[in-house]
Structure 1
Amino acid sequence: MTLAELIEKGGFSIWPLLFLSILALGTIIERIWFWSKVLVKEEQILNTIMDAATTNWGKAGEIASRYRHHPLGKYLNTPLQLDNPDPEVFHLALETGAEDELSQMRKGDKILEGVIALSPLLGLLGTVLGLIRSLGSISLSDLGTASTSGVTLGIGESLISTAVGLVVAIIAVVFYRLFQAFWANQVRIFRKAGSDLELIYRQKWNLED
């Protein structure tokens, strides 16, 4: 079945479903591009900054500043740019930086959640309207006669919108769960990196005292 046939047979609900599918596809492509950039260099950035923080604290800030385009680098750069802060201020800067970056990583989630919720409902609505249209054209006296032969075809076509809605929702769910898994892993990485950096800073602070 071609796209033109799908639109013709699926009824009016195919149009909003088509819009939702394009919206979901654009979001998925953008998020795949984002996560590919995040995951490729993350380990290298983390090791470089942490090694510098261990051996030369002043150098760590310069290195983190160079990686501000990366979420992890930007997160670690937030406290490193402070001028000899109190450990509690350092900890607060870490928390603030983590919250900002992790919230940015969830960009697009609301769109996918909306697509997942609306697509099956729109598909079901299209099916119900199609059934009403098909069954509304016959009367009890027509049952068993040749005049009802087109009803079966009409019912089959009305189910197309439900199938399309389910397909759109299933694809959106798969990628939504994938992105959620990436985000949950980032929470773990951010928490460990922040704890390690804070520990190094507290040791440095205690030695200076």
Structure 2
Amino acid sequence: MLELIKAGGFVMWPLLLCSVLAMAIIGERLVALRRARVAPPGAAATAREWIKRGDITPEQLRTLEEGSALGQVLAVGLVNRRHSRAVVREAIEDAGRHVASELDRYLDALGTIAAIAPFLGLLGTVLGMIRMFSGLGEAGVGNPAVLATGIAQALTTTATGLGIAIPSLIFYRYLRSRVNTLLADMEREAVRLVEILKGEREAG
């Protein structure tokens, strides 16, 4: 690894930092965006059962809110259940925006890493070529070590940049798709809750 960094020059350090950040973000988001953690199936069913029984206590609402992101949205709807439909929808939408922001956390950073890593690799390539031609100008074409060093830097940084950008982009797209799916499911459950609270749909 040290030899690889040495061959690529100083551009390898920001590339290494991008690699570490990308792995950290991917690992954290894969854990944070699990369905069981964001929108467990039991959360909506529990809320509907409470509405059906007409037995909703502050302790129950606190438990629902702390259990998942979907629980936060549903709890807001239940807290405002005695207000008008418009008030309930507005409260749920506000909670939904906050939850969406939490689900999107760090994804923009991951997308930025996927975008800049190839350019950092390209920068290393250009610097490697400059180094090669400068060395040839000083030592002449009779010294193959100068040529090899410049080419090594160019190829190493290019390969490293692409090696970081490709998986980062794949996981960015995958995680973004997962967020959109979770938000759609949460929106569906929130709309269903409003309809039940306002007597437009059966709780069962």
Asked if the contact 1:65/1:73 (under 8 Å) is kept, the reply is no
Structure 1 residue ranges, 4+ long, deviating more than 2 angstroms after superposition = 36-41, 50-53, 56-65, 139-143, 146-150
2:64 to 38, 45, 67: 67
Asked if the contact 1:24/1:112 (under 8 Å) is kept, the reply is yes
Partner of 1:182: 178
Which one-letter code corresponds to 2:187 in the other structure? R
CA distance in 2 between partners of 1:41 and 1:79 (Å): 16
| 1:31-55 Cα deviation digits (max 9, x unpaired) | 11212364586112222223333x2
Alpha-carbon deviation of 1:59?
Answer: 3.0
2:130 to 129, 132, 139: 132
Alpha-carbon deviation of 1:182?
Answer: 1.0
Asked if the contact 1:134/1:151 (under 8 Å) is kept, the reply is yes
Partner of 1:49: 47
CA distance in 1 between partners of 2:178 and 2:140 (Å): 58
CA distance in 1 between partners of 2:57 and 2:41 (Å): 16
Which one-letter code corresponds to 1:20 in the other structure? C
Give the direction of change, closer, same or farther, for the CA distance of 1:141–1:87 in structure 2 (3 Å limit): closer
CA distance in 2 between partners of 1:201 and 1:91 (Å): 11
Gaps of 5+ in 1: 205-209
1:93 lines up with 2:91 in the alignment: yes
Which one-letter code corresponds to 1:129 in the other structure? L
Partner of 1:160: 156
1:199 lines up with 2:195 in the alignment: yes
Q: Secondary structure at the match of 2:120?
A: helix
1:79 lines up with 2:77 in the alignment: yes
Give the structure-1-normalised TM-score. 0.85
Give the structure-2-normalised TM-score. 0.87
Give the direction of change, closer, same or farther, for the CA distance of 1:150–1:139 in structure 2 (3 Å limit): closer
Moved more, 128-137 or 34-43: 34-43
Which one-letter code corresponds to 1:65 in the other structure? R
Number of residue-to-residue matches in the alignment: 199
Identity %: 28
Alpha-carbon deviation of 1:6?
Answer: 0.9
Which one-letter code corresponds to 2:80 in the other structure? L
Give the direction of change, closer, same or farther, for the CA distance of 1:72–1:60 in structure 2 (3 Å limit): farther
Q: Secondary structure at the match of 1:76?
A: helix
Gaps of 5+ in 2: none
